[in-house]
Protein backbone atom coordinates (compact mmCIF):
# COMPACT_ATOMS: atom_id res chain seq x y z
CA UNK A 1 0.00 0.00 0.00
CA UNK A 2 2.92 2.41 0.69
CA UNK A 3 3.98 2.01 -2.97
CA UNK A 4 0.59 3.47 -3.91
CA UNK A 5 -0.09 6.08 -1.24
CA UNK A 6 3.28 7.71 -0.63
CA UNK A 7 4.83 10.17 -3.03
CA UNK A 8 8.29 9.12 -4.22
CA UNK A 9 9.36 11.84 -6.67
CA UNK A 10 12.23 9.73 -8.04
CA UNK A 11 9.76 7.20 -9.47
CA UNK A 12 7.87 9.90 -11.41
CA UNK A 13 4.60 8.12 -10.58
CA UNK A 14 1.28 9.97 -10.13
CA UNK A 15 0.24 10.66 -6.53
CA UNK A 16 -2.35 8.21 -5.22
CA UNK A 17 -1.65 5.60 -7.92
CA UNK A 18 0.54 2.53 -7.76
CA UNK A 19 4.18 3.29 -8.44
CA UNK A 20 5.02 2.45 -12.04
CA UNK A 21 7.66 0.02 -10.74
CA UNK A 22 5.26 -1.89 -8.49
CA UNK A 23 4.06 -5.33 -9.55
CA UNK A 24 0.91 -5.22 -7.43
CA UNK A 25 0.66 -8.22 -5.13
CA UNK A 26 4.21 -9.30 -5.91
CA UNK A 27 6.60 -6.46 -5.12
CA UNK A 28 9.02 -3.95 -6.52
CA UNK A 29 10.28 -4.63 -10.03
CA UNK A 30 13.43 -2.57 -9.38
CA UNK A 31 14.00 -3.74 -5.81
CA UNK A 32 17.81 -3.90 -6.12
CA UNK A 33 17.92 -0.40 -7.61
CA UNK A 34 14.99 1.22 -5.76
CA UNK A 35 15.44 4.86 -4.64
CA UNK A 36 17.10 5.54 -1.29
CA UNK A 37 13.83 7.04 -0.07
CA UNK A 38 12.21 3.62 -0.53
CA UNK A 39 15.12 1.86 1.20
CA UNK A 40 14.88 4.15 4.23
CA UNK A 41 11.09 4.10 4.55
CA UNK A 42 9.40 2.27 7.42
CA UNK A 43 5.71 2.76 8.16
CA UNK A 44 4.17 2.79 11.62
CA UNK A 45 2.97 -0.76 11.17
CA UNK A 46 6.59 -1.93 10.95
CA UNK A 47 8.21 0.27 13.58
CA UNK A 48 5.61 0.57 16.34
CA UNK A 49 5.15 -3.13 17.01
CA UNK A 50 2.08 -4.71 18.59
CA UNK A 51 -0.22 -2.62 16.37
CA UNK A 52 -3.76 -4.08 16.18
CA UNK A 53 -4.39 -6.19 13.08
CA UNK A 54 -6.95 -3.75 11.64
CA UNK A 55 -4.09 -1.29 11.01
CA UNK A 56 -2.33 -3.63 8.58
CA UNK A 57 -2.08 -1.28 5.55
CA UNK A 58 -3.48 -3.72 3.01
CA UNK A 59 -6.51 -4.14 5.26
CA UNK A 60 -6.98 -0.58 6.57
CA UNK A 61 -5.96 1.10 3.29
CA UNK A 62 -4.17 3.59 5.53
CA UNK A 63 -0.40 4.06 5.83
CA UNK A 64 0.80 5.66 9.05
CA UNK A 65 4.10 7.52 9.22
CA UNK A 66 5.63 9.16 12.29
CA UNK A 67 8.51 11.57 11.73
CA UNK A 68 8.99 12.86 15.24
CA UNK A 69 7.01 16.09 15.20
CA UNK A 70 4.15 14.75 13.08
CA UNK A 71 2.03 11.63 12.66
CA UNK A 72 0.48 11.33 9.20
CA UNK A 73 -2.29 8.94 8.22
CA UNK A 74 -2.27 8.65 4.43
CA UNK A 75 -5.54 7.30 3.06
CA UNK A 76 -6.09 5.33 -0.13
CA UNK A 77 -7.92 7.77 -2.47
CA UNK A 78 -9.96 4.80 -3.69
CA UNK A 79 -11.48 4.63 -0.16
CA UNK A 80 -11.28 8.30 0.92
CA UNK A 81 -13.83 8.00 3.75
CA UNK A 82 -12.36 4.82 5.21
CA UNK A 83 -10.62 6.61 8.07
CA UNK A 84 -13.97 7.92 9.32
CA UNK A 85 -15.13 4.36 9.97
CA UNK A 86 -14.59 2.68 13.31
CA UNK A 87 -12.34 1.57 14.82
CA UNK A 88 -9.93 3.77 12.85
CA UNK A 89 -11.63 7.14 13.47
CA UNK A 90 -11.82 6.73 17.23
CA UNK A 91 -8.19 5.68 17.41
CA UNK A 92 -7.01 8.56 15.20
CA UNK A 93 -8.88 11.04 17.43
CA UNK A 94 -7.41 9.51 20.59
CA UNK A 95 -3.95 9.73 19.07
CA UNK A 96 -4.55 13.40 18.19
CA UNK A 97 -5.29 14.22 21.83
CA UNK A 98 -2.15 12.43 23.01
CA UNK A 99 0.02 13.88 20.24
CA UNK A 100 -1.01 17.48 20.90
CA UNK A 101 -0.12 17.05 24.56
CA UNK A 102 3.39 16.22 23.27
CA UNK A 103 3.43 19.23 20.88
CA UNK A 104 3.03 16.98 17.82
CA UNK A 105 0.68 17.23 14.84
CA UNK A 106 -1.69 14.56 13.58
CA UNK A 107 -2.57 14.86 9.90
CA UNK A 108 -4.86 12.89 7.61
CA UNK A 109 -3.69 13.08 3.99
CA UNK A 110 -5.82 12.03 1.02
CA UNK A 111 -3.81 12.67 -2.12
CA UNK A 112 -2.73 16.31 -1.74
CA UNK A 113 -5.62 17.20 0.54
CA UNK A 114 -4.81 17.53 4.26
CA UNK A 115 -7.08 17.38 7.29
CA UNK A 116 -5.59 18.40 10.64
CA UNK A 117 -6.85 16.44 13.62
CA UNK A 118 -7.15 18.90 16.48
CA UNK A 119 -7.98 17.71 19.99
CA UNK A 120 -11.54 19.06 19.75
CA UNK A 121 -12.32 19.00 15.99
CA UNK A 122 -11.07 18.34 12.46
CA UNK A 123 -9.72 21.17 10.32
CA UNK A 124 -9.85 20.56 6.54
CA UNK A 125 -7.12 22.63 4.87
CA UNK A 126 -7.88 21.43 1.35
CA UNK A 127 -4.96 20.96 -1.03
CA UNK A 128 -1.55 21.75 0.47
CA UNK A 129 0.96 22.73 -2.20
CA UNK A 130 4.51 21.39 -2.36
CA UNK A 131 5.88 24.71 -1.05
CA UNK A 132 3.42 24.91 1.84
CA UNK A 133 3.66 23.55 5.38
CA UNK A 134 0.93 22.85 7.92
CA UNK A 135 1.15 24.99 11.02
CA UNK A 136 -0.81 24.31 14.18
CA UNK A 137 -1.07 26.43 17.26
CA UNK A 138 -3.15 28.42 19.67
CA UNK A 139 -5.48 31.17 18.53
CA UNK A 140 -5.77 34.40 20.52
CA UNK A 141 -8.92 33.03 22.19
CA UNK A 142 -6.97 30.01 23.46
CA UNK A 143 -8.51 27.48 21.06
CA UNK A 144 -6.44 25.26 18.78
CA UNK A 145 -6.23 26.14 15.11
CA UNK A 146 -4.41 25.10 11.96
CA UNK A 147 -3.30 26.82 8.77
CA UNK A 148 -1.20 26.14 5.69
CA UNK A 149 1.68 28.58 5.32
CA UNK A 150 4.52 29.06 2.86
CA UNK A 151 7.62 27.04 3.70
CA UNK A 152 9.53 30.31 4.29
CA UNK A 153 7.05 31.57 6.91
CA UNK A 154 9.15 32.81 9.87
CA UNK A 155 6.73 31.27 12.36
CA UNK A 156 7.98 27.82 11.36
CA UNK A 157 11.35 28.64 12.94
CA UNK A 158 9.60 28.85 16.31
CA UNK A 159 8.74 25.18 15.96
CA UNK A 160 6.13 22.74 17.19
CA UNK A 161 2.48 23.19 18.00
CA UNK A 162 3.04 26.11 20.36
CA UNK A 163 3.20 28.73 17.61
CA UNK A 164 0.59 31.48 18.05
CA UNK A 165 -1.85 31.64 15.13
CA UNK A 166 -2.91 35.22 14.62
S1 LIG B 1 10.37 2.05 -6.49
FE2 LIG B 1 9.72 0.07 -5.70
S3 LIG B 1 9.75 0.31 -3.46
FE4 LIG B 1 9.78 2.37 -4.35
S5 LIG B 1 7.63 3.02 -4.44
FE6 LIG B 1 8.15 2.06 -6.42
S7 LIG B 1 7.54 -0.08 -6.22
FE8 LIG B 1 7.65 0.79 -4.16
**Ligand 1 pocket test, candidate residues 23, 28, 31, 41, most atoms within 8 A of CB:** 28
Instruction: Quote the ligand 1 centre to 121 CA distance (angstroms).
Output: 35
Mean pLDDT of 10-19: 88
The answer, yes or no, to whether residue 157 has pLDDT greater than 80, is no
pLDDT-wise least confident of 78-82, 83-87, 98-102, 126-130? 98-102
CA distances 15 to 1, 4, 110, 138, 152, Å, are 13, 8, 10, 32, 24
Three-class DSSP category at 131: coil
Report the predicted TM-score, pTM, of the whole model to 2 decimal places.
0.86
Give Dmax (Cα) for the chain: 54
Q: Beta 132-138 vs 122-127: how paired, if at all?
A: unpaired
Instruction: Answer yes or no: is the C-beta of 15 below 6 A from any ligand 1 atom.
Output: no
Q: Where are the domains of the chain?
A: 1-41, 42-162
CA atoms of 32 and 7, how far apart (whole Å)? 19
Half-sphere exposure of 65 (CA within 13 A, CB side): 16
Q: What is the pLDDT of residue 159?
A: 62
Amino acid sequence: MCCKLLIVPETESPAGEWCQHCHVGQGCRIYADRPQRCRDFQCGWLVWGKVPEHWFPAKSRIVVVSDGSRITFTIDPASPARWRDQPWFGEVKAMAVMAFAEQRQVLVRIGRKVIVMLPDRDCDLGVVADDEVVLTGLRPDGSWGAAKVHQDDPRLALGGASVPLV
